[in-house]
Structure 1
Amino acid sequence: MLSLKLNNRIKGVIVGLLVLAVALFAFAFRGFLLGPGAGDQEFVETDRVSRHPLSGALLDEAIELPRVYGVMVENHFESWPQSGLEEAVLVVEAPVEGRIPRLLAFYSEEQEVEKIGPVRSARPYYLDWNGELDAVYAHVGGSPDALELLQVDDTIDINEFSNEWFFWRDEARSAPHNVYTSMDLLEQALDRFVSRFGAQENGWESWKFKDDVPPVVGSRQSEASAGENGNEEKEKEKRGVTIDFAGSPYLIDWKYQMEANVYRRFQDGELHEMENGALIEANNVVVMETDMEILDAVGRRHVRTTGEGDALLFQDGRVITATWKKTTRSVRLRFYERESGEEIAMNAGKTWIEVVPSLEGDVTVEEEEQE
C-alpha cells in the first residue's frame, strides 16, 4: 500500500516537471511559434527585413534598385485640380517666377499611375534634385538655362517638345495647363531612350528609414521615439506647418492627422484635392531654407541646392530642428538632427519637401490646441 502511494507521488512529480518543461519551451520560442509581433515588440528582430529604397516600405525580400521617374507638375491655380500627386512617393516643391510653387514628383518604376500632370517646364534647380536619384525627367520645355544644362549632363531627358508620343493634351483644358503623362508612357519613353543612347546609370542612394511611431503621450513607445529625435516636451506640441509661397492662393498647410499619423495637405485653406477626388497625405514633411536670387526681368530664380542649411522636419506629430546637406549635384539630399548631428530616419511612406527662402517670414509652425 505504501509502495502504491509512493508510485503515485512520483508520477505526480514527473507530470509536473513535464508541464513546467513544456511551458518554458513555449515561452523561449514564443516568437517562432506565434510569428512576428508576438510578445513584447522590443524583442522582435527587424534588421533582416528589407525596405523599398525609395519609400522605405517593408518588403518580404530585397529588390534591385528601382528606376525612378521625376515629373514636373505645375501648381498654378489654373492647373487645379491636378492628377497623380497623391501617388508620388517623394515631392519637392519650390518657387518659380512670381514665387508660384512648382512640383517635382517622383515615382518608382513598379507604380501604376494612369494620369500625372499638368506637366510643365524645367528649371535648373529641379535637375539637381532629379539627378541625385538618376531619375527619368519628364517636362514640357524649360528655361534657357535648364535646357542648356540638359544638353550637357547625363539626365534621361523626356521633353514633350521632342517626345510628344509620351504625353497627351486634354482638350477640355486650356493650354499650357493641359499636358499629361502616365507611368506606362514614361516606361515606353525610357525604352526608346535606351534603344537610342544605351542604358544609363542607376546607382542612387537610399535614405535611412524607420516605422512611424504615433505620439501616445505618457507611453514607453512615445518616450522612446521622442528620445531619438530630441526633447518630447518641446516637440510634441508642434502639430503642423503653413508655408506662404506667394500669398493667396499659394498658402500651403500641412495639418497633422493623429489617428492615421500623417500630414494632410491644404491649399488656400481648402483640402488639396486631385481630379479623381483623392487627397494628399504625407508621412514626412520637410521645410528647408536656402538662398534664392532673381536672375532676370522675367523673375527666373537661382536656387542653391548644394551645401547645407536650416530645416524643419515634421513626423509623428512632432517637429525636429534639422540641417539639410547635399555636397554635390549628384549626391543625395539628407537631413540631420541639428544638435546631435545624427541623420534623421524618415518614416516609411511618402515625403514632401518644401523649399523656401526663409524659415522665419515664410513658415508658421502650428501649435497643438490645448484642452
Structure 2
Amino acid sequence: MKKTTLIILIGALVAILLAGSAMVLVPGSVQDFVKQKAGLTGNRPIAIMVENSFAARPQSGLYLADVVFEVVDEYGITRFVSIYASRDAGIVGPFRSSRPYYAEIAKSFDAIYAFFGTYPHNYQYIESLGIYTMSAMTDKSGMSHIVGLCPYWRDWKRSKVQEHTAFTSTVKIKEKAAAVGYPLEGNGIPFSYKGDADEGGRGNVSNVFIDFGTPAYAPKGFNVNFKYDRASNSYLRYMGGRPHVDHETGQTIAVKNVVVLITDIVGPIDQYKHMSVRTTGSGQAFYFIDGNAVEGHWERGGLGDPFKFFDGDGNEISLNVGTTWVSMVMPGKVGWQ
C-alpha cells in the first residue's frame, strides 16, 4: 500500500474515532496520534500538591491540569495531585506538603514532583522512589538529600494563615528543573485517549456522587458531585453541594472524564493522624465518560508502573481528551443516577 493511501486511511479512521463512543476499541497507532495532537505525549509531566481545606478554596490552576488525583488526608480532608503535561498553569495552589501515597501517584507519571516539604521519614521515602523532586523546603533531618528547589511565592490576600498562602507555577518549575539538569522530555500522560462521542453515543447518567469518608473521618464539605452537561460533553464539579470554581476565572471546574478507583484506605496510622492508601495492585473501578457509566477494574503492577484502566471485559478504557479527575475511595463510596 502506498504511503499516501495509508495516511488517508489513518486520517479517516481518526475522524471516525473522534466521533466515537467511550466503548470503542482504539488501535494503538491511532491512540498515539490522538495523544500527540492533544499535546499529551513527549513532555515530562509536572505533578503539584494542592490542598483542599476550606481556607484553601477556591484553588488556582486545577482546571488546567490534564489529570487530577483526589485522595483523603488527615482528618478526612482531601488533597490533590495535579498533573500538567499539555498545558502550563501560571499559578497553582495553595501549594502543600506530600504524603507517601501522593508521591507514589506522582511516580506513576514519571513526573517532576513539586511539594511544599513533608515529614522526615517521607523525605527519605520520596528519595527512595527515584523521583525528580522539586520540594519547596530542605530536609533538615538528614534522612534524605532533598533540598529546597521549588520556586514559590506567598499571597497574603488569600489567607492570614501562612500554610494557605504558597503558590507556584508550572512555567517556573520547568525553568528551575532545566537549570538543575532535570530532563523535560518524557512520555507524557500514560493513558489511552479518543475523541468525544457524538450525540447518539452520549448516555443519560447525569450525576455522579463520591464520598471520601472513612471509618475514622467523615467531615462535611468534602463529598463531591460531578454533574453531566450533555451539550459540552463534560462534567461540572461540585464540592460540599457548591460549584467548585477556579479562583482566577470564577468558572466551575469542568472535566471530560471522571474515574473512581476503589482501594484500601486505613488510618490514622500514627500520632500525626496520617493515612495509608494503597496505590498498587488492582481494584474495582468506575468510569464516567460521554454520559455513560462503566464498571471495570484498575491495575498497577508496581511503584514504577502507570495506572491502567479496564472495562468489565478486560479492554483498556479510552478517555476523552481533556481533564480527567481520578478519585481514590473505599468500597461503597460511589453512586450515580
What's the TM-score once normalised by structure 1's chain length? 0.74
Q: Which has the larger radius of gyration?
A: 1
Residue type of the alignment partner of 1:363: V
Q: CA deviation at 1:202?
A: 3.7
| Residue equivalent to 2:210 | 243
Q: Does 1:349 align with 2:322?
A: yes
Distance 1:297 1:273 in 2: 34
Give the aligned length: 304
- Mapping of residues 133-148 of structure 1, within 5 Å: 133-148=109-124
Equivalent of 1:152 in 101, 104, 128: 128
Equivalent of 2:242 in 270, 288, 294: 270
| Residue equivalent to 1:114 | 90
Q: Does 1:282 align with 2:282?
A: no
User: For the structure 1 residues 345 and 352, does the alpha-carbon distance in structure 2 shift closer, same or farther, using more than 3 Å as the test?
Assistant: same
| Residue equivalent to 1:8 | none
| Residue equivalent to 1:259 | 231
Task: Spell out, residue by residue over 1:247-287, the C-alpha distance to the aligned partner (whole angstroms, 9 max, x if none).
Answer: 42112110100111111101111111111113211111011
Contact 1:123 1:145 in 2 (8 A): no
Which structure 2 residue ranges, 5 or more long, are not aligned?
20-25, 139-147, 213-217
Task: Spell out, residue by residue over 1:196-222, the C-alpha distance to the aligned partner (whole angstroms, 9 max, x if none).
Answer: xx6588457732211110453xxxxx3
| Residue equivalent to 1:321 | 295
Q: CA deviation at 1:47?
A: 7.1
Distance 2:62 2:40 in 1: 24
Q: Helix, strand or coil for the counterpart of 2:206?
A: strand
User: For the structure 1 residues 175 and 50, does the alpha-carbon distance in structure 2 shift closer, same or farther, using more than 3 Å as the test?
Assistant: farther
User: For the structure 1 residues 164 and 65, does the alpha-carbon distance in structure 2 shift closer, same or farther, using more than 3 Å as the test?
Assistant: closer
| Residue equivalent to 2:59 | 82
Distance 1:184 1:204 in 2: 16
| Residue equivalent to 2:78 | 101
Q: Does 1:212 align with 2:172?
A: no
Equivalent of 1:303 in 264, 277, 286: 277
Q: CA deviation at 1:180?
A: 0.4
Q: CA deviation at 1:101?
A: 0.7
CA RMSD of aligned residues (A): 3.0
Greater share of helix: 1
| Residue equivalent to 2:69 | 92
Q: Helix, strand or coil for the counterpart of 1:191?
A: helix
Q: CA deviation at 1:165?
A: 6.2
Contact 1:49 1:58 in 2 (8 A): no
Contact 2:134 2:150 in 1 (8 A): no
Task: Spell out, residue by residue over 1:173-194, the C-alpha distance to the aligned partner (whole angstroms, 9 max, x if none).
Answer: 2210111001221012212331
| Residue equivalent to 1:17 | none
Distance 1:253 1:65 in 2: 33
| Residue equivalent to 1:185 | 172
Q: Does 1:292 align with 2:265?
A: yes
Task: Spell out, residue by residue over 1:325-347, the C-alpha distance to the aligned partner (whole angstroms, 9 max, x if none).
Answer: 00101111011112x11111111
Q: CA deviation at 1:63?
A: 8.8
Contact 2:61 2:246 in 1 (8 A): yes
Q: CA deviation at 1:124?
A: 0.6
Q: Helix, strand or coil for the counterpart of 2:302?
A: coil
Distance 2:150 2:16 in 1: 51
Q: What percentage of residue pairs aligned between the two structures are identical?
A: 27
What's the TM-score once normalised by structure 2's chain length? 0.81
Contact 1:122 1:142 in 2 (8 A): yes
Q: Helix, strand or coil for the counterpart of 1:113?
A: coil
User: For the structure 1 residues 85 and 201, does the alpha-carbon distance in structure 2 shift closer, same or farther, using more than 3 Å as the test?
Assistant: closer
Q: Relative contact order (alpha carbons < 8 A, sep ≥ 6): 1 or 2 greater?
A: 2
| Residue equivalent to 1:23 | none
Residue type of the alignment partner of 1:128: E
Distance 1:200 1:260 in 2: 33
Q: CA deviation at 1:88?
A: 0.5
- Mapping of residues 114-133 of structure 1, within 5 Å: 114-133=90-109
User: For the structure 1 residues 303 and 199, does the alpha-carbon distance in structure 2 shift closer, same or farther, using more than 3 Å as the test?
Assistant: same
Q: CA deviation at 1:312?
A: 0.7
User: For the structure 1 residues 48 and 324, does the alpha-carbon distance in structure 2 shift closer, same or farther, using more than 3 Å as the test?
Assistant: closer
Distance 1:63 1:346 in 2: 12
